[in-house]
């Protein structure tokens, strides 16, 4: 019922590829057609797929949206309120808009789940399959390693809530945007949440110790070699500082962080 097709996209994700998914429920849905491939063409035709949707608008997920939408006359869906961003990212106007928390009306038992954090418009698609739930989760989770949640676009508070929301659904399996299928969703969600909270704890300690700028915090908090991806580390630290500031743990003015009363 769910088919995964790995597509070469040159993404910065460790695999260098992005997964497109085909759901054979109702009128059929393709999710994240990131690049053209003969296999994707074949499957869309053979299974008579009629609809197209995205987990989010990042460039490594949208590459062949306009091609497949036009070639196979697919009905293109975008998140309600995000049609301009959708059109800017894909080059085509969506036909219809879906609402998070509601079924995707393409026939079949398909639900749209709000999972922001990695990107503001990020959603997952829940499919009921013989009594259990499976989820197409885009860049919410990876079988190993972690996704980028970086300011200004990424929202660490929202990201952790999204992981907890998915975990609470007790899905049987997650189908991620990159890499292999996740057979132990609870375990992977726990690992990803723990990873973020561990780094957050380190940042809190570093701020209290007097590391005030993003550069100083990156130097202090990251132990592994991050040469080449310093910009991602900086964006991640910013996302953590924004979360810590909202929660009242640090004062953060966009340039300098400190603890209250410091």
Interface residues with Zn ion (CB under 5 A) are: 58, 139
Between 58 and 249, name the residue whose CB sits nearer to Zn ion.
58
- CA torsion angle 230 62 179 163 (round to 10): 80
The candidate with the shortest Cα–Cα distance to 240, out of 148, 124, 172, is: 148
Choice between 50 and 161, CB closer to Zn ion? 161
In the complex, the smallest distance separating the C-beta of residue 139 from Zn ion, rounded to whole angstroms, is 4
User: Among residues 139 and 242, whose Cβ is nearest to Zn ion?
Assistant: 139
Q: Are 7 and 18 in contact (CB under 8 A)?
A: yes
User: What SS3 class is residue 193?
Assistant: helix
Least gap, CB of 133 to Zn ion (angstroms): 23
Q: What contacts 3, CB < 8 A, 6 or more positions away?
A: 21, 22, 24, 43
Based on CB atoms, which residue is closest to Zn ion, 150 or 171?
Answer: 150
For the chain, helix (H) and strand (E) counts, in that order, are: 8, 12
DSSP 226-250: -TT-HHHHHHHHHHHHHHHHHTTSS
Q: Residue 139 or 155: which CB sits closer to Zn ion?
A: 139
Q: Are residues 54 and 48 in contact, defined by beta-carbon separation less than 8 angstroms?
A: no
Rounded least distance, CB 18 to Zn ion, Å: 9
- Between 60 and 200, CB nearer to Zn ion: 60
Q: CB of residue 39 vs Zn ion: minimum separation in angstroms?
A: 22
The closest residue (CB) to Zn ion is 58
Backbone angles phi, psi at 92, to 5 degrees: -130, 155
Q: Cβ of residue 109: shortest distance to Zn ion, in angstroms?
A: 26
Report the nearest approach of Zn ion to the CB of residue 159 (Å). Answer: 12
């Amino acid at each position: 019922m769910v088919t995964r097709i790995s597509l070469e996209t040159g993404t910065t994700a460790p695999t260098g590829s992005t997964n497109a998914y085909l759901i054979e429920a109702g009128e059929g849905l393709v999710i994240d057609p990131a690049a053209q491939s003969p296999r994707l063409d074949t499957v869309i035709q053979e299974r008579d797929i009629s609809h197209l949707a995205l987990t989010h608008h990042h460039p490594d997920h949208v590459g062949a949206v306009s091609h497949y939408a036009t070639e196979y006359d697919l009905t293109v869906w975008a998140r309600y309120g995000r049609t301009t961003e959708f059109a800017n990212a894909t080059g085509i106007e969506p036909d219809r808009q879906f609402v998070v928390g509601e079924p995707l009306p393409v026939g079949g038992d398909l639900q749209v789940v709000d999972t922001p954090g990695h990107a503001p418009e990020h959603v997952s698609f829940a499919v009921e399959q013989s009594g259990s739930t499976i989820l197409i989760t885009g860049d919410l989770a990876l079988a190993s390693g972690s996704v980028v949640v970086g300011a200004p676009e990424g929202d660490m508070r929202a990201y952790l809530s999204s992981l907890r929301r998915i975990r609470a659904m007790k899905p049987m399996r997650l189908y991620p945007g990159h890499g292999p299928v996740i057979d132990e969703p609870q375990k992977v969600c726990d690992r990803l949440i723990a990873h973020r909270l561990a780094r957050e704890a380190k940042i809190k300690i570093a701020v209290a110790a007097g590391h005030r700028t993003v550069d100083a915090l990156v130097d202090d908090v990251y132990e592994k070699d991050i040469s080449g991806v310093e910009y991602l580390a900086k964006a991640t630290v910013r996302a953590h500082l924004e979360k810590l500031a909202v929660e009242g743990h640090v004062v953060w003015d966009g340039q300098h962080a400190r603890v209250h009363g410091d």
